[in-house]
Amino acid sequence: MKINIFGNLILLTSVTLFTACSNASPKPEDKKLSTLAIIGINDSVSLPMARTYPVDSGVSTHMNASMPNPLHLVRHIEKNAKTLLGIKYVWGATGPYTYDCSGFTQKIYRDAGINIPRVSRDQARVGQFIAYDNLRRGDMVFFDTKKKRTGIVSHVGIYLGSGNFIHASSAAKKIVIYNFNDQEFYKKRFLWGRRVVGDNYHMASL
């Protein structure tokens, strides 16, 4: 009986790590939805992906009362994320010295008082669905980086504006900033964005 429990524990741990950040990115030259009440977004919205993924009421966000201003929150997220530029990528790592893609995003949003799930596929169900043309600074950006594209999330980063996003890249083996216009692979593999910072701010003010 003890052997079975131990074996099941190993299997569960392996599955959790495997889904943490399945980033089959190219070589450096080649890369269930929930509608939640978050700052500035208090009404339910119709999300296109809801036809594909069921709502999971178990996913939630928590905003830190000390940082209620979305504009300040976005700036905090950006500044904090950039302090980790160059930190080594390690699959399954959650810091503080190494990160995988979703470990990185979870840490950055957690430090801003926003609790999101551990793995990229679950992170992709939190907040408000955002299409590519409507991305704003502070949004999470999700990708299908698998060789055979299936539309399933396998990678996540944070949008910085002007086409730039920061992420823990398995290809670069570190946390880097890429631009969609310079990285055709990521532009083609982009799935959607998710906004967990309120919508009551304007791009002009950012």
Active site residues: 101, 155, 167
**CB-based contacts of 6-13 (< 8 A; 24+ apart in sequence):** none
113 phi-psi bin (left φ>0, alpha ψ -120 to 50, beta other): left
Q: What is the 3-state secondary structure (H, E, C) of 113-149?
A: CCCCCCCHHHHCCCCEEECHHHCCCCCEEEECCCCCC
Q: Are 203 and 59 in contact (CB under 8 A)?
A: no
Indicate the DSSP class of residue 51.
Answer: G
Amino acid at 123: Q
